[in-house]
Amino acid sequence: MPSRPIQILIVATHPADTFDMAGGTLSHHAAQGDKVTAVIATTGVRSHHWELAEMKRQEGASLDVEKFVEQAAAEKLEEVRNACRIMGYDDVRDLGFEDDDILVTQDKIEAIAEVIREVRPDIMISHHPYESGGLKMHGTIGQSTIYAWQVAAGTGRGRQLRHAVPCIYFMNPMAYMGNNSLEYASTARADLYVDITDVIDKKVKALDYISSQFYGGPYSRKRSEVDDGTYGNKVNVAYAEQFQRFFPLKCYTLPITDAELEQIDQSPEVGMGRRSEIVGAFTPLPPNMEFSSKYRTPKEKYNL
Ligand SMILES: [Zn+2]
């Protein structure tokens, strides 16, 4: 552990990205007295507000979505503030870019650099710049964040402060690998896992708040199993979050934890038992929600 509390800045593309990839890890930091600032780059409305998307599906060109965008953005922000509060941090700021404003642009870079200069983070977290082959919004904000690091580390203009962030992590670097052929050209790899088993129930409850994109209830529990549960299974714990360092780790000696040392003499029962916790079994669904098989695709629909 460092000799003083640290400041972490997470630069998220969409509102839920503030906690649904690295939130368990950030929860650990908040609990030990570190400060967490979450920046939301885009409103997430045009890509992730399913109620509005459903209205558009039903009404087609007769629906002018602009009437609803401001209200929908406020709803999503409120959901995420509640979710982050559960994870233990409440400094949540939105930059207000549109989530279909897809390019890496100087104004996005400057906006992120401005937050870096103000917050002066010790650790910065964002998306892998080549996520989805670097072509989707996560990649745009990941790239913008790296450029913003470079801009903020310079002398700036006029009376701007400078701040060089010493440590950067990409969150969930492998989550989107394999969804399109360009992703295989990426340098994404997970080289660090954080065991979040002790806070996975919080993460499920935080996801329950994200009702505008139907994350609450059954999906929240399923999502925790298939994402955090899969990562956990890779490193012999129940739930984990994965990261990739941007700069290599610098140490005086080679790092190893007591958790790794204990594996030497661990019985298989302990190892398998530790991986086998299922948070859905211990975290009740919100009222009026239930697990259901009624949305399955019938086999006839797969006829070629
Ligand atoms: Zn996102």
Band (pLDDT 50/70/90 cuts) for residue 133 is confident
Most confident of 24-33, 129-138, 289-298: 24-33
Cβ atoms < 10 Å from Cβ of 69 = 16
CA distance 261 to 254: 13
Please indicate whether residue 295 or residue 35 has the higher confidence score (pLDDT): 35
The model's pLDDT over 39-61, given as tens digits with 9 standing for 90+, comes to 999 988 888 888 888 888 999 98
Domains with residue ranges and CATH for the chain: 7-302 (3.40.50.10320)
Q: What's the CA-to-centroid distance between 290 and ligand 1, angstroms?
A: 26
Which residue bears the tokens 């649904």?
Answer: 20
Q: What's the CA-to-centroid distance between 173 and ligand 1, angstroms?
A: 13
The model's pLDDT over 285-294, given as tens digits with 9 standing for 90+, comes to 988 888 888 9
Q: What's the CA-to-centroid distance between 132 and ligand 1, angstroms?
A: 11
How many CA atoms lie less than 13 Å away from 109 in the CB half-sphere?
15
- 200: tokens are 């996975």
pTM for this entry: 0.93
Q: What's the CA-to-centroid distance between 38 and ligand 1, angstroms?
A: 14
Q: Are strands 192-195 and 7-12 parallel, antiparallel or unpaired?
A: unpaired
Q: What's the CA-to-centroid distance between 26 and ligand 1, angstroms?
A: 17
Please indicate whether residue 38 or residue 293 has the higher confidence score (pLDDT): 38
- 42: tokens are 């885009």
Q: What's the CA-to-centroid distance between 16 and ligand 1, angstroms?
A: 7
The model's pLDDT over 197-256, given as tens digits with 9 standing for 90+, comes to 999 999 999 999 998 888 989 999 999 999 999 999 999 999 999 999 999 999 999 999
Q: What's the CA-to-centroid distance between 138 and ligand 1, angstroms?
A: 6
Q: What's the CA-to-centroid distance between 120 and ligand 1, angstroms?
A: 24
Sheet hosting strand 91-97, strand order edge to edge: 91-97, 35-42, 7-12, 123-127, 167-171, 240-245, 192-195
Q: What's the CA-to-centroid distance between 49 and ligand 1, angstroms?
A: 12
Q: What's the CA-to-centroid distance between 18 and ligand 1, angstroms?
A: 9
The model's pLDDT over 143-164, given as tens digits with 9 standing for 90+, comes to 999 999 999 999 999 999 999 9
Ion ligand 1 neighbours (CB, 5 A) are 13-14, 17
CA distance 108 to 151: 12
- 104: tokens are 């890496």
Q: What's the CA-to-centroid distance between 14 and ligand 1, angstroms?
A: 4
Q: Average pLDDT, whole number, for the chain?
A: 92
